[in-house]
Structure 1
Amino acid sequence: MGKPKIASDWLAGCAGCHMSLLDIDERIIKVAELTDLRATPITDLKEPDESGVDVGILEGAVNNSANEEVAKRMRSRCGLLVALGDCAVFGGVPAMRNLFKIDDSLRRAYVETESTDAEGKIPDDPELAVPQKVKALNDVVPVDIFVPGCPPDADTIFYVLSELAQGRKPEIIGDKLHWH
């Protein structure tokens, strides 16, 4: 059997989980030796292979129709799906928007903010993603592995990737549950 193919992407969040992935520093060379790292936000390939990957990793919550499409595409193209970080696992900070009506949130973001110019308006181009209630990844697609943390620390991410690369399902318990 060849190296497991891994793809990742991000949804609604801050990209901190991918930054934490980069914080594994020189250990990323070990990950590259053990896996075939495919599409990621930090590589040229941006979508998982149509033929599929062994492991898909998504960070961020699902807060619009584009996020939902990305989540469904990743789920359909991967064997195991990993929810990476609190936004993917629980909805995280983006889910705070659920405390308000979407129209109120959009008005605050595009019209009422201090940095908005006098002509501020809520975008309504049909090409834009449609906002929706913010959801954890598992509310949209089945998830196999949950890695909480905001962000999960580099050691935990390295552990998860190492276990997956060796064909084992990581157990996120004990010291693997701590985060900063």
Structure 2
Amino acid sequence: MTADIAILRLDTLDAPEHLQQLSEVLVDCVEGGASVNFMAGFSMARARAFWQQVAQQVQLGERALLVARDGAGRIVGTVQLALSQPDNQPHRADVNKLLVHRSARQQGVGEALMRAVEDLARAQGKTLLVLDTASDAAERLYLRTGWQLSGRIPGYALMPDGAPTATTILYKNLMPGETLSAPAP
């Protein structure tokens, strides 16, 4: 049910409403218990500072920022594609911070953002995407959309309430018909 959702790439966060709405989404996700690098009590001021750092990376071409807007034009979700990789990994990118405001969940926003970020990665010549998540719901979304489970790392991070949590590493091969192989252990 994504009829009223538009996915856009933001090349700048110059518009004050973009910074404000992205900050609202991030704070809502942290308040809702999302493990996205921030702890409980996360403030709008810290959220704005985070997005200002992201804006600098976007302007340098190191990162791409996609947003999902609802029918009223409000940003209700976002995802990032980290394009800047080491010299020996020009073929891959990391997917970061898939965030959907709690009021917009279960409406196809996350899936639409993931399709769009995968399309953007292909357009940038990327053939392998990697991400990690501490959320069972997000993991189900990724697996449902063709991502492969690589493994889990116990005690990797803390949830916003301070409880330790594992992270799940996933990847997606964007080259149809190509098989990724790993050396035998």
Mark yes or no: TM-score above 0.5.
Answer: no
Max Rg structure: 1
Q: Please state which structure has a larger fraction of its residues in helix.
A: 1
TM-score by length of 2: 0.29
Q: Please state which structure has a larger fraction of its residues in strand.
A: 2
TM-score by length of 1: 0.29
Greater RCO structure (CA 8 Å; 6+ sep): 1
